[in-house]
Structure 1
Amino acid sequence: MDGINGVMSRIAEIEGFISSLQPPAAATAGTLGGTSASGQAFASSLSSAVAGVGTSGGLTSGLTSGLTSGLGSGLTSGLTSGLATSGAATATTTATGAATATTATSGARNAKGVPVELAAYGNGRIPAAALSSIGVGNHTMWAPAAANFKKLQAAAARDGVTIGVTDSYRSYDQQVDVARRKGLYSQGGLAAKPGTSEHGWGLSLDLKLDGEALTWMRAHAEEYGFTENVPRESWHWTFTA
């Protein structure tokens, strides 16, 4: 009997402690246990369980019922909110990934290094609308190449260096003419086989360079995506970025 009285006294202490608790502030959405309403439900259920010790079912059934009810409510609320938050985060991540993929493929090139947006036209058959001015005479290039050359030329000018231009995009007919006049590179001349020239994709420039300008190009051109990529032709620079 003394043992039962001790248990009842302890339960009374617990009940008094629970009653003194203030409802907690609203929990962050998705936190296990839900909001303050769930906390109140738990406290209320546990209090009812304590009261039920002396009326029906005894200590075990009363506490089991109260805990199941209170924790069940909190878990349901917390898990529901948490899953909703997780789903939203997943959707955001997926959207971000798609945006990243779109950006990464902007200005993409095929296996031969030809800009995908130009490949369908064919070498030397790029329409004027698909090319951009480089700011020198009527010379044009693929838009990203043109924009970078303008930056390169401006940087050289700030260093007191002049970068001139003698040739840029070449149509197929112009390539035929250059090959006729200067001979094919494969045969010791200076022209690529018509239909294969980097000029025909709007990627290359022939520059007018004195010694100082050539030295500057070899030191800085790569910063702007241009490479000296044809042996025997120090004037030929191609946009490879």
Structure 2
Amino acid sequence: MIITQDSATNIIYPDSDGQPIADNTKQFQWIVTIKENLEILFASQSDVFVAGDLLWYPIAGETTRQAPDVMVVFGVSKGDRGSYKQWEEGNIPVQVVFEILSPGNTLKEMAKKFKFYDRYGVEESYIYDPDKIDCNGWLRSQEAPQNSLEVIEDMHGWVSPRLGIRFQLTPQTLEIYRPDGEKFLTSVELAQLREQERQRADTALLQLEQERQRYQDLLQKLQEKGINPEQL
């Protein structure tokens, strides 16, 4: 979808819609986990922008906007932004969005967001309800009328065409896996994993030091007996 730039220059585009990022801790945790793990996944790619709760303005001169819980844009540089003004980003629309539901979300609100995403070129849209363990997705189809977003019939085992991540639903939760098979982890789980790796490295270093010391002790004993190991 091509968005043309409006000639108006006196439009104010607020960086906040006055709404909270999340309604509860569970919703916030999911938003942070998905956003941070996607940033880690694409950390080495300078032209992949990942953001959470950032206002997206698709049309210059209009204040039409939405703030996906998490959004991913391919083809633009990383960096800080107060909002995503599409006409300043080479008219590249947001390609992937995530929404995490809370009890405060209404059907009307979500329908309005879906209509916005469908209209302005989102390629993949995912909604997860952590209370019901229910995940739904939509994929833009060239075969659909008006090239619209079409529902993904089965999210269990679904692999995102854009992101390469895999969705796995269990009776307890949604699990998301990177292309290399590593699971998305919370910040606490990532910290625990780093600590475990540090401890393993410390243990390996200690074992190496102990081996070196045993070798030195053996070398000293042989020398005390007048034996030169290099001549053996």
TM norm structure 2: 0.23
User: Which protein has the larger Cα radius of gyration, Structure 1 or Structure 2?
Assistant: 1
TM norm structure 1: 0.23
More helix by share: 1
